Amino acid sequence: SQQGEEDPQALSIQEGENATMNCSYKTSINNLQWYRQNSGRGLVHLILIRSNEREKHSGRLRVTLDTSKKSSSLLITASRAADTASYFCASYNDYKLSFGAGTTVTVRA
Amino acid sequence: EPEVTQTPSHQVTQMGQEVILRCVPISNHLYFYWYRQILGQKVEFLVSFYNNEISEKSEIFDDQFSVERPDGSNFTLKIRSTKLEDSAMYFCASSLPTGSEAFFGQGTRLTVV
């Protein structure tokens, strides 16, 4: 499998706090993407970071990529109850996305 | 906003039966994909499709699986003889160029009994 691990598996935070999750991958990648999934429904694309980029921002999201360590992190700042979902990283290479196991984030009001 | 649509949302089938899962990708997208997610597990890649050919397929995508783009809008996944372990949520996705943001449908929940 191209994809490694994500941690933590689950995260529970208070509204307004930041949520940070990490993922690792095993092989070289073209880019790395983060997706969100609500209760087994479809995956929604959040952000894409290319292999030659180190950091990217989109609204309350901040993604980092360290290709030397084959790892990425997703930070959600000022979390809201509506951010409650599962978050997946997916490494892209060879015409396919390889997904991690995901982090389940629960934001308490 | 354009979206990927999948039908049916839920299908129950008997073991050994053939099923066809249907998808309508976003109209100007060029790359099409099928993924599946067994309950509680990670999303797994099945196949990618471009220019009426399979670009890449996983070990899961064996001879029991096939994909087709029968017309300019539909993209289908056929499972010839379903097994209990084929029970999963199947997601279709499309993207404009390969490697860009993929848009996923809401999935078809396949239950094999």
Distance separating alpha carbons of residues B47 and B60, to the nearest angstrom: 9
Q: What is the C-alpha separation between A25 and A57, in angstroms, rounded?
A: 21
Task: Judge whether residue A4 has pLDDT over 70.
Answer: no
Phi, psi (degrees; rounded to nearest 5) at A23? -145, 155
- pLDDT at residue A2 is higher than 70: no
Q: Is A100 touching B (CB cutoff 8 A)? A: yes
How confident is residue A35, by pLDDT bands cut at 50, 70 and 90?
very high
Q: What is the per-residue pLDDT for A32?
A: 95
B71 — pLDDT class (breaks 50, 70, 90): confident
Cβ–Cβ gap B101/A48 under 8 Å:
yes
User: For residue B14, is pLDDT > 90?
Assistant: yes
Q: Inform me whether the pLDDT recorded for A43 exceeds 70.
A: yes
Please give the interface size between A and B, counted as residue pairs whose CB atoms are below 8 Å apart: 60
To the nearest whole percent, how much of chain B has pLDDT over 90? 86
In b/e form, how buried is each residue of B51-62, taking b as 16+ CB within 10 angstroms?
eeeebbbbebbe
Distance CA B74, CA A19 (A): 39
- Shortest distance, CA B101 to any CA of chain A (angstroms): 7
